[in-house]
Amino acid sequence: MKANHTIHQHCHHTVWNNKIEPVKSVTPGESVAFEVMDASGGQFNEKSTSVDVAKINFAQVNPVTGPIYVEGAEPGDTLEVEIEEFGTLSWGWTAIIPGFGLLADEFKDPYLKIWDLNNQHTAEFLHGVELPVKPFPGTIGVALPEEGDFGIVPPRKNGGNMDIRHLTKGTRLYLPVWVKGALFSVGDTHAAQGDGEVCGTAIEAPMHIKLKFHLHKGKTIQEPRFMTPGPLTTGLDEKGYYVTTGHGPDLLEASKHAVRYMIEHLEMAHGMSRQEAYALSSVAVDLKISEIVDVPNYLISAYLPRAIFK
C-alpha cells in the first residue's frame, strides 16, 4: 500500500481530546496509510472464545489511530477525507457483549463468532450463509472544540463512531474542522455490517486503510456529510429481501420490535440459534425508517438480503 505517510498503531483509546499530541503532520493532497487495530484493542485473536468476551476490558476498546495534524486546517474549514484503499484481510470477529447492544436486556450471555476473511470477497457465517466483504472504518473523525475527554463510543458532531457501512472505497467524507490542524483519527475497521449494527458489533477486523486528505478553506458544515461513488448495495439487491417491521410511538422501541421479529424468522426459517440470529442481524440486516410522519406511530423495517443464503 503506497502512500506519502504510514502510521503504525499510534492509538488513543476511549476518548476524543483536543490536547492529544498529533503523531504526524500531513499536507492537503497527501495520502496516509493507517494501521488499524480491531475494536477489541487486541484482546481477541483467531483462537478466542466466548469466555474471552466475558473478560473484555472496556478501557481498551475502540482504539483509533492518530491523531494527525492537517496543515492549514482551521476552525470553520471542512476536511475532505477520500477513502482510497483497504489492505488484505485475514480474520475478524462478531460478539454479543453482555450489557451492550439494542436487545441487551434479552441477551445476557456472551457470544463470539470468529470469521475467516482470507477469501477477501466473501465470509462464511454458517454453512450456506455467506456475506460479501465490504470494508469500512466504523470510527472516523476529528477533535472536538470543547476541552476535556469525550467518549469514543457514541457518534458526535466531529464524526466519531458513526458505523456508516457505506464509507467504503471511493467514498468522500466531509468533516467539520473544530480545532487547528483538525486532529484526525480513524479506527474500528469492519469487514461487513448491517445498517444499525444491532448486537453492538459488526465483523470487526484489523486492517490497513489508505486515506487522502483535501481541505476546503472557509467552507463550514456543522456535522459530517459524505458522497458515495455509486450504488449502495450491489451484490445484495439482486435476489430481493425478507423484511420484518416494527411500529410504535418511539423509534428505538419500533426498532427493537423489527429486530425481534427478524430473529424469530431466522430461528424458524433457517434453524439458527437465537444468538446466531441476533449476530447475523447485526452484520447483514439493514434497519430503515419507513415512516416517521404519521404520528403517533413510526415504522421501522428490517431488511434481510436473500442473496446471502446459498
Spatial CA neighbour of 188 closest among 148, 232, 154 = 154
Read off the DSSP letter of residue 306. G
CB count in 10 Å sphere of residue 146 = 12
- Cβ contact 33:6 at 8 Å: yes
Q: Is 288 helix (H, G, I), strand (E, B) or coil?
A: strand
Spatial CA neighbour of 165 closest among 236, 106, 252, 67 = 236
- Cβ contact 73:80 at 8 Å: no
- Cβ contact 208:87 at 8 Å: yes
Position 11 confidence tier, pLDDT thresholds 50, 70, 90: confident
pLDDT digits (tens, 9 = 90+) for 101-146: 999 999 999 999 999 999 999 999 999 999 999 999 999 999 999 9
Task: Please identify which residue in the block is written with the cell numbers 458522497.
Answer: 227
CA distance 102 to 100: 7
In sequence order, the 6+-apart residues with CB closer than 8 A to the CB of 45 are: 91
Task: Please identify which residue in the block is written with the cell numbers 482551521.
Answer: 74
pLDDT digits (tens, 9 = 90+) for 217-263: 999 999 999 999 999 988 889 999 999 999 999 999 999 999 999 99
- Specify the pLDDT at position 8: 86
- Cβ contact 262:277 at 8 Å: yes
Mean pLDDT along residues 2-7: 92
Here the cell at position 203 is 465483523
Domains of the chain: 5-227 (2.60.120.580), 237-308 (3.10.28.20)
Helix 251-270 and helix 274-284: axis angle, to 10°? 120
Here the cell at position 235 is 451484490
- Quickly list DSSP for 184-222: EEEEEEES---TT-TTS---B--EEEEEEEEEETT---S
Partner residues linked to 64 by β-bridges:
12, 187
pLDDT digits (tens, 9 = 90+) for 145-190: 999 999 999 999 999 999 999 999 999 999 999 999 999 999 999 9
Here the cell at position 259 is 429486530
- Cβ contact 309:240 at 8 Å: no
- Specify the pLDDT at position 234: 83
Task: Please identify which residue in the block is written with the cell numbers 435476489.
Answer: 239
Position 9 confidence tier, pLDDT thresholds 50, 70, 90: confident
- Cβ contact 53:94 at 8 Å: no
- Quickly list DSSP for 117-139: -TTSSEEEEETTEEEE---EEEE
Mean pLDDT along residues 285-309: 97
